[in-house]
Structure 1
Amino acid sequence: MKNTFNIGIIGSGSIGGLLGKFWANAGHKVMFSSRNPEKLTPLIDEIGNNAQAGSIVEASEFGDIVLLAVNYQTVDEALEKVRSLLDNKIVIDATNPLAYDDNGKIFRMIPEDITAGEFMAKKLPNTKLIKSFTTLWSEYLRKESFRDDELLVMPISGDDEAAKNKVSQLIEQAGFLPYNLGTLKDSKPQDPGSPIWNKPLTLSEFKIIHTNT
């Protein structure tokens, strides 16, 4: 029998809202958060059982596992409010370190010599940080989950094996196939610009690309 968790969602947009819905449907208790929780009422009403709304502080306190799915430009602002509340918890980092410059061009917000997972772990040193749900944009997550034929791969990395096992369960309950890349130091394939980033891949397709890079 699968474990059930209290899950806090920081960032209830296209990714956080969708994953939280999948997990609530799988039997987990989910608290979505927003600066204005009342705006989440339609989402809560749609999901029904197992879903509630609160502030990011309340969601961080509520969750045994917390999904971080905010726009990267607001990461530091969000973490400033909840960092200490996340100590010793599993935090799923679903952010990508990307932003737009004044000319509308996308750029990487962190140094090239560190993975996004390692960089986030420095911001949250007392958490069990797990990197996942970064390699497919929200429309792929919505349209390609729970495929009738081969499931698409969802890479996962982290330095705590027990935490990775729990998040792997959540990946399965979101309709994807978890693929353990290793530690956060090994998580570069999950970062923007990698050969597998934002490509919907089955296991055989993923292995061909991953083993050749």
Structure 2
Amino acid sequence: MDANSLVNPRRRSLIVAAVAAAAALAGLPQVARAAANGLKIGIIGTGRIGGTLAELWAKAGHELLISSRHPDALRPLAERLGPRVRIGTPEQAAAFGDVVLISVPYGALPQVGRDYAALMKGKVVLETGNPRPERDGPMAAPVLARGTGLASAEYLPGVRLVRAFTSVPHAALRSEAHRNGERIGVPLAADDQDALQLAVKLVEDAGFEAVAVGGLARAKDFDVGSPVFGRAMTAQELRQALGGGR
């Protein structure tokens, strides 16, 4: 009698399925494997948007390092969100994350790129900033004219960039997450399809529906001044307004 005949058929099928699943998981890229068990997310700029997403992603089971120029001020937030959330500097957040969220005033983005792009090289980076002339000065107008997706890619060389969480008001990110019925849509633009798929997962984990509109050049369609900017629209409304998306 061989060893296989001593194993209960149901147990044998479960073992085979587990081995197959493990083999499939082992074949995935590192970030995709991490996503199956919770991502390590570094957040550079834990303000109204970064702080809200930190709370939503912590509840979804991700491990976070939240940062700002004054990390001790984030200690109450980290303590409230639980043991999988720690505080640190922007440099530590850039190094920590499998995925990095950059949520800073747009005028600070060039400096973030100069300081931390090497640490984020090859990583998926979600970037939320919007250039505003009254706040960011003369750099804002040419960025808006060209389109933020293309400009941000130059400020953050070597990263796998996704423009995300840029057009939904921060108050709606907090009040409309995981709402009943059709979810609020979050437009996404990226040239890297694997990075885009990971961003879709993080949008869903935060309690919204992703609407992928295309490459980084299409991010201009939801920039400041566009018909969808600053509005909490359902995914269906957003697709109609942007002329497509998936």
After TM superposition, the score normalised by the length of structure 1 is 0.91
Question: Contact 2:186–2:211 at 8 Å: present in 1 too?
Answer: yes
**From 175, 198, 208, the counterpart of 1:166:** 198
> Which segment drifts farther, 60-69 or 203-212?
203-212
Post-superposition offset of 1:48: 0.9
Structure 2 counterpart SS, 1:35: coil
Residue of structure 2 in register with 1:114 after alignment: 146
Mark the runs of 5 or more structure 1 residues left unpaired by the alignment.
none
Measure, in 2, the Cα distance between the counterparts of 1:101 and 1:12.
18
- With over 3 angstroms needed to count, the CA separation of the structure-2 counterparts of 1:200 and 1:34, relative to structure 1, is same
CA distance in structure 1 between the aligned counterparts of 2:135 and 2:153, rounded to whole angstroms: 25
Cα RMSD after superposing both structures: 2.2
Change (3 A) 1:107 1:159: closer
Q: Is residue 185–residue 211 contact of structure 2 (8 Å, CA) maintained in 1?
A: yes
Higher share of residues assigned helix: 2
Q: How many residues align?
A: 210
Choose 1 or 2 for highest CA Rg. 2
Where does the alignment leave 5 or more consecutive residues of structure 2 unmatched?
1-32
- Would you say the 8 A contact 1:73–1:99 is kept in 2? no
The 3-state SS of whatever aligns with 1:66 is strand
Match of 2:184 among 152, 171, 177: 152
Match of 1:95 among 107, 120, 129: 129
Q: CA deviation at 1:73?
A: 2.2
2:9: which partner in 1? none
TM-score for the superposition, normalised by structure 2: 0.80
Within the candidate set 46, 66, 82, 2:80 is matched to: 46
SS in 2 for 1:187: helix
Which residue of the partner structure matches residue 127 of structure 1? Answer: 159
Q: For the Cα contact (< 8 Å) 1:147–1:175, is it kept in 2?
A: yes
Q: Decide whether the 8 Å contact of 2:211 with 2:239 is kept in 1.
A: no
Structure 2: distance between partners of 1:158 and 1:208:
20
% of aligned pairs identical?
32
